Structure 1
Amino acid sequence: MFKRKQKIKHPKEVFDEQLLSTLNAAKLDWDRAKQNQEAVYDNNTSELVTQTALARAKYLYLYREARLRQVHGQTIQRSVIDK
């Protein structure tokens, strides 16, 4: 009747791995948005500028969160560390 909730064995490790994978995905999205903005001849399109700014904001938020949590992992991209 009453089921106990199963505890996650190591919630910090699980969350850290998810954070790293999300951080890498956000970096790729930001890179794609920058490339799209550069590829378009007319850079005055506000939609591309807005998409690039949004992708950058998402990435920077996740990056700050990873630094605050002191997340270290093998999956973090080299370009992420350099910037």
Structure 2
Amino acid sequence: MAILDRLPTKDRLFRFGLVVDAACLVCGSDSELRDHLFAACPFAMDVWNTVLSLCGTRCAALTWDQRLSWMVGNLKEASQAQVR
């Protein structure tokens, strides 16, 4: 659902008139959009940096789409290296 941008984020629910406040529940500094929740939120950035650091890698991607492309490319490379 995240890849298709179909998550019931507060921003989407706000557009349907189902919630009053579209602010991010985690940081409160921006609208709760998929891109914010998975890439731009300071909490999400900390999580990404911690997980990638534990995996011994880094990713300079700034948006969700950039992160997704990076993950697909790196996972494809890793799986091909294991086959060899």
Give the structure, 1 or 2, with the largest relative contact order (CA under 8 Å, sep 6 or more).
Answer: 1
Write 1 or 2 for the structure with the bigger share of helix.
1
TM-score scaled by length of structure 1 = 0.29
TM-score scaled by length of structure 2 = 0.29
